Amino acid sequence: MRVISARPTVRDLDDSDSRTRTRIVSAADSLFRRLGPARVALRRVAEEAGVSVGLINYHFDSKQGLLEALVDSFFSVVIEEEDRLLAAFEESDDMAGSLEAVFRHGFGVARQHRVAMRIILTLVGQLGALPVEWRNTRQGSFLTRWSTAISRRSGVPPQVVRLRIHTLLALTTRYVAASEPELKMILDVEHGDLESCRDAVEDHLASLARGLVTPVDAASPPS
C-alpha cells in the first residue's frame, strides 16, 4: 500500500515552479477527462504540457503522484471557499435554502473536477477509506465544521448531521463520477443528454441538502 506523503503546496514553490505544476496538472486533467487515467502515459501528459517527463517526475514523483495532485487541487478549491460559504449559512435566515445553495455550488465544483471524483472512488475502493492524510486534514475537518455549525443552528444532533453530510458527499462523488450510460440507466432515460441527467441528479441531491436541518423525529418514518 502506498503511503501518501505531504507534497509542497503552491506557497512553498517559487512562481516558476508553481506555474509549471499548474500547467502539468491542467494538461493531465484535460487528458484524463477525454481518455481516462489508465490510458494516458506520462509522456502524453508531458507533450500536452510542453515539458519533459523528468520534470513531471521532479514535481510529482510518478503518475500516482500526479493523480493525487488532481485530488489536492479539488480539495484546495473547497478549502478556499469554505469560510465564505459557512459565513453565508450562519447569516442566512433560511437554513434549508442556504444549504441548498451551498450544495449546488459544491456540486458545480465537483463536476469541474470529475477526474478527481473518480480517483477518490478508486482509492476508497482500494483502501476502504480516503488515505489518512486527506481523511484527517480535509474530510474530517470539513465534516466537523459543517456538522457543528448546522447542529448549533438547527438543534439536530451533530452526529446525525455529520452522517447526513457524509452521505451527501458520498452520493455526490458517486454520481459525478458516473458515466453517461450509467446515469441514463439510473434515471431510466433513453435519449436524454448527459447534462440533463446530471441536472436531475443535482436537483435530487439538493433536496437532501435541504434535509440536513430536518429534525430527527420528522425524518423518521412512522412506526
pLDDT tens string 65-108: 898 888 888 888 898 999 999 999 999 999 999 999 999 999 99
Please check the confidence at residue 5 and state whether its pLDDT lies above 50. no
pLDDT computed for residue 219 by the predictor: 58
Joined grid coordinates for residue 162: 455529520
Residues for the chain: how many in total?
A: 223
pLDDT for residue 156 is more than 50? yes
d(CA 174, CA 101): 20
User: What are the pLDDT digits (tens) for 173-207?
Assistant: 999 999 889 999 999 988 778 888 999 999 999 99
- Which of these, 82, 129, 105, 107, lies nearest to 177 by C-alpha position? 107
Alpha-carbon torsion (216, 217, 221, 223), positive or negative: positive
- 144 and 56 in a single domain? The answer is no
Q: Which is it for the CA torsion 186, 29, 209, 125, positive or negative?
A: positive
Q: Which of 17, 34, 61 is the last residue of a domain?
A: 61
Q: How does the average pLDDT of the chain come out, rounded?
A: 88
Residues 33 and 78 in one domain: no
Write down the pLDDT at residue 172: 96
- Find all residues with CB under 8 Å of 124, minimum gap 6, and list them: 130
Instruction: Find the mean pLDDT for residues 22-51.
Output: 89
Question: Does residue 36 belong to any structural domain of this protein?
Answer: yes
Claim to verify: residue 73 and residue 28 sit in the same structural domain: no
Instruction: Render pLDDT for 11-33 as a digit per residue (tens, 0 to 9).
Output: 455 667 888 888 999 898 888 88
Given 33, 61, 89, which residue is the final one in a domain? 61
Q: Enter the pTM of the model.
A: 0.81
Task: Report the first-to-last Cα separation within the chain, whole angstroms.
Answer: 46
Distance CA 132, CA 140 (A): 10
Q: Which range marks the domain in which residue 53 is found?
A: 9-61
Assess whether pLDDT exceeds 50 at residue 217: yes
Closest CA to 33 of 134, 119, 129, 122: 119
Nearest residue to 114 via CA among 44, 175, 66, 53: 175
Residue 190 confidence (pLDDT) = 81
- Return the closest-CA partner of residue 114 out of 63, 174, 166: 174
- Residue 69, C-alpha cell as written in the block: 495532485
The pLDDT of residue 39 is 87
State the Cα–Cα distance between residues 178 and 118, nearest whole angstrom. 8
Query: Does 160 lie in the same domain as 81?
Result: yes
Task: Report the pLDDT averaged over residues 136-161.
Answer: 95
- For residues 107 and 176, the answer to whether their CB atoms sit within 8 Å is yes
Please count the structural domains in the chain.
2
The pLDDT value given to residue 130: 86
Q: What is the pLDDT of residue 164?
A: 97
Whether the pLDDT of residue 214 is over 90: the answer is: yes
Residues 99 and 193 in one domain: yes
pLDDT the model gives residue 6: 46
- Calculate what percentage of the chain has a pLDDT beyond 90: 55
Task: Indicate if 52 and 98 belong to the same structural domain.
Answer: no
Q: Collapsing DSSP states into helix, strand and coil, what is residue 157?
A: coil
Which pLDDT belongs to residue 16?
Answer: 75
pLDDT (0 to 100) of residue 117: 93
CA-closest candidate to residue 108, choices 70, 145, 139, 77: 77
CA 157 remoteness from chain centre:
25
Q: How far apart are CA 64 and CA 83, in angstroms?
A: 30
